[in-house]
């Protein structure tokens, strides 16, 4: 038996809102209470950790992540403002430097990510000719920030056979099938390198206070073999990595298809995730009821029909699992709900609702759609950082959709009020692994009517992730006696100068509620100093 006593801190626990200390034994929270009581436990434990006023809270669960792509993005050329790229000219300069740094004869694909033509004064992405000029002879793949389209060089286009595929453009921009083929070639690595990339991304997640991620695997993103490795690699907390909760975006027609997939991927949680019904708003591939405001000739694309959705939901329900669909546009959501209703006609509404199927993103939800979602027992993985990045009167949503439609996107308060179970995700690498940033974004939505409390957003970012994965019965997501010790320890130096504990932390709800850091606009983000999964330390910066 191993035991660690954490003391002299602030413990976020609904069962004891004033706790200052907690004891972890063999991966489980065994006790929590006051420092005075903790004094009597010091001599009997293996380790004593002096928190020095730090906050101990449930570890975060990122409910929508692409592990391999996150690692590739971290290694590749950063074409976002974070990487110092503020124009098309900057992007081409960065690519030229990366190409020049290559060793002679190195013809591996050159990867870049994060560009958004709307943020550049030129107002357009690079062309294939421009990429060829700055990276001569190299296969180059440059993913747009939403990773639903990209720009490629001529060598990569030829090697992947992109010409003639749906979504190919002669200027080098690719979407749909052409994008999938380009991405598959660009991200091909051997087994050892893939393992290294997995570890790099998961280590970064642990450093952000994340104890579990929902991996959204799909054939165009990673292989079955890769997902099988991720699940095995992280199954035991002794791996010192966050738990990977696995989803595989392969469409099933029959229950035998679903059973085969579950058998081939031991530990698979759900069948779907990045099973795309449509694309993204930024790439104008999300399926809309009405045309895009800045491209009146398109309403986006549907990738699945209601019949295909119904067959998939029926197969997965009968196999005893749950389905998940990527859907962003309102036309895409119409198709999902039509398919789910058809499945309910076959299986019964109670069976479909009881399975706990989920949607990823679901950014355009109106009142009739919301009512159907409640009836069908749907759960939602949402990404508040999308609103922070692209919402508002001058944001990408308004440019693509017009201000009226844009104002209705990501209705978190409406979803929460209707009782829809919510979990927060980043869609990394689309937005960073930054769980406090997601909580802050949900609490400070561009539309005031759609803001939720910090406490509600925090709960969705912790316990909500376990709930969507059907793992909340374990007690995970709360700091209470008997629950798994999935914890994160945070410092918020900007609050230390406050005169008292009540002014140092934001209670956010009623008196006596568990305490949380101040996430008001402009307040510095808390810093993770330790992440713990089932008592095992994943990340440690404690003094």
For 383-423, the pLDDT digits (tens) are: 999 999 999 999 999 999 999 999 999 999 999 999 999 99
pLDDT at 455: 92
pLDDT higher than threshold 70 for residue 504: no
Q: What per-residue confidence (pLDDT) applies to 510?
A: 34
DSSP 471: -
Question: What is the structure's pLDDT at 494?
Answer: 43
Stated pTM of the model: 0.92
pLDDT at 498: 25
**pLDDT exceeds cutoff 80 at 212:** yes
Average the pLDDT over 37-57 and give the result. 95
3-state secondary structure of 246: strand
Torsion of CA 92, 385, 367, 373, to 10 degrees: 100
- Residue 493 has a pLDDT of 58
Report d(CA 280, CA 283) in Å as an integer. 6
Domain layout of the chain by residue ranges: 3-58+479-540, 68-186, 191-474
Q: What is the mean pLDDT of the chain?
A: 94
Confidence of residue 513 (pLDDT cuts 50, 70, 90): low
Confidence band for 508, pLDDT divided at 50, 70 and 90 = very low
Residues 6+ apart with CB under 8 A from 522: none
What is the spatial distance between Cα 196 and Cα 192, in angstroms, rounded to a whole number?
Answer: 6
Task: Specify the higher pLDDT residue, 521 or 174.
Answer: 174
Confidence band for 522, pLDDT divided at 50, 70 and 90:
confident
Average pLDDT over residues 221-232: 96
Q: Quick check: 16 and 32 in contact, CB under 8 A?
A: yes
495 pLDDT exceeds 70?
no
Q: Which two tokens stand for residue 150?
A: 């990209």
Segment 246-276, tens digit of pLDDT: 999 999 999 999 999 999 999 999 999 999 9
Residue 103 predicted with pLDDT over 90? no
294, two tokens? 């800045």
> Is 496 a residue whose pLDDT tops 90?
no
The vertex-356 CA angle with 474 and 411, nearest 5°, equals 105
Q: Which has the minimum average pLDDT: 187-196, 343-352, 411-420, 500-509?
A: 500-509
Residue 509 has what pLDDT?
39
Query: Domain 191-474 in CATH: superfamily?
Result: Metal-dependent hydrolases (3.20.20.140)
| pLDDT tens for each residue of 112-129 | 999 999 999 999 999 999
Alpha helices in 367-523 (DSSP H): 367-375, 384-390, 396-401, 403-406, 412-417, 435-443, 454-461, 463-468, 501-504
Burial class (CB within 10 angstroms; exposed 0-12, middle 13-18, buried 19+) of 151: buried
Q: Kindly give the pairing relationship between strand 536-540 and strand 527-533.
A: antiparallel
Query: Which CATH class, in words, describes the domain spanning 68-186?
Result: alpha beta
- Residue with token string 């960073």: 432
pLDDT at residue 543, rounded to an integer: 74
How confident is residue 503, by pLDDT bands cut at 50, 70 and 90?
very low
Would the pLDDT of 343 be above 90? yes
Q: Which two tokens stand for residue 442?
A: 């949900």
Find, among 435, 432, 438, 425, the residue nearest to 465 by Cα: 425
CATH number of 3-58+479-540: 2.30.40.10
DSSP for 483-508 reads SB--EEEEE-GGGTTSSSHHHHSB--
Cβ atoms of 279 and 322 within 8 Å: the answer is no
Residue 502: pLDDT band with limits 50, 70, 90? very low
Q: What is the pLDDT of residues 234-244, one digit of tens each?
A: 999 999 999 99
Angle between helical axes of 454-461 and 435-443 (0-180°, round to 10): 140
Average pLDDT value for residue range 170-188: 93
pLDDT of residue 507: 43
- For residue 295, pLDDT over 50 is answered with yes
């Amino acid at each position: 038996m191993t035991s660690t006593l954490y003391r002299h801190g602030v413990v976020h626990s609904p069962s004891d809102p004033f706790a200052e200390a907690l004891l972890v034994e063999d991966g489980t929270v065994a006790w929590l209470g006051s420092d005075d009581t903790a004094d009597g436990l010091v001599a009997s434990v293996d380790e004593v950790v002096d928190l020095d006023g730090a906050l101990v809270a449930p570890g975060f669960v990122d409910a929508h992540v692409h592990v391999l792509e996150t690692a590739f993005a971290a290694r590749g050329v950063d074409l976002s403002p974070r990487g110092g790229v503020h124009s098309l000219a900057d992007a081409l300069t960065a690519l030229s430097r990366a190409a020049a740094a290559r060793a002679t004869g190195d013809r591996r694909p050159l990867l870049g990510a994060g560009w958004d033509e709307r943020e550049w004064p030129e107002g357009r992405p690079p062309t294939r000719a421009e990429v060829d000029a700055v990276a001569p002879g190299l296969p180059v793949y440059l993913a747009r920030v939403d990773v639903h389209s990209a720009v490629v060089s001529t060598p990569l286009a030829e090697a992947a056979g992109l010409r003639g595929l749906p979504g190919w453009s002669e200027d080098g921009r690719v979407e749909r099938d052409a994008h999938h083929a380009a991405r598959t070639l660009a991200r091909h690595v051997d087994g050892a390198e893939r393992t290294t990339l997995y570890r790099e991304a998961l280590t970064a997640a642990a450093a952000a206070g994340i104890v579990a991620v929902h991996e959204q695997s799909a054939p165009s993103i990673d292989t079955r073999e890769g997902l099988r490795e991720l699940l095995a690699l992280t199954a035991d907390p002794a791996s010192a990595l966050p738990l990977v909760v696995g989803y595989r975006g392969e469409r099933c027609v029959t229950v035998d298809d679903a059973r085969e997939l579950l058998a081939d991927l031991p530990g698979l949680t759900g069948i779907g995730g990045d099973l795309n019904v449509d694309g993204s708003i930024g790439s104008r591939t999300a399926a809309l009821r009405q045309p895009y405001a800045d491209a009146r000739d398109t309403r986006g694309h549907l990738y699945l029909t209601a019949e295909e959705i119904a067959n998939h939901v029926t197969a997965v329900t009968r196999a005893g699992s749950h389905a998940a669909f990527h859907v962003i546009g309102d036309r895409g959501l119409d198709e999902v709900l039509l398919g789910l209703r058809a499945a309910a006609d076959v299986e019964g509404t109670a069976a479909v609702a009881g399975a706990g199927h989920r949607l990823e993103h679901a950014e355009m939800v109106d009142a009739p759609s919301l009512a159907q979602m409640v009836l069908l027992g749907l759960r939602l993985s949402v990404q508040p950082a999308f609103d922070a990045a692209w919402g508002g009167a001058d944001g990408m949503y308004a440019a693509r959709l017009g201000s009226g439609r844009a104002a209705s996107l990501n209705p978190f308060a409406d979803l929460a009020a209707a009782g829809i179970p919510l979990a927060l995700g980043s869609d990394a690498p689309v937005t960073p692994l930054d769980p406090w940033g997601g909580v802050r974004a949900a609490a400070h939505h561009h539309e005031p009517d759609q803001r939720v409390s910090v406490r509600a957003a925090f709960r969705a970012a912790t316990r909500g992730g376990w709930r969507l994965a059907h793992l909340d019965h374990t007690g995970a997501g709360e700091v209470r006696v008997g629950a798994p010790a999935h914890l994160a320890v945070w410092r918020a130096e900007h609050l230390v100068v406050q005169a008292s504990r009540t002014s140092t932390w934001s209670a956010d709800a009623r008196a006596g509620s568990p305490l949380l850091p101040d996430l008001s606009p402009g307040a510095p983000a808390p810093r993770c100093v330790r992440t713990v999964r089932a008592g095992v330390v994943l990340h440690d910066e404690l003094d």
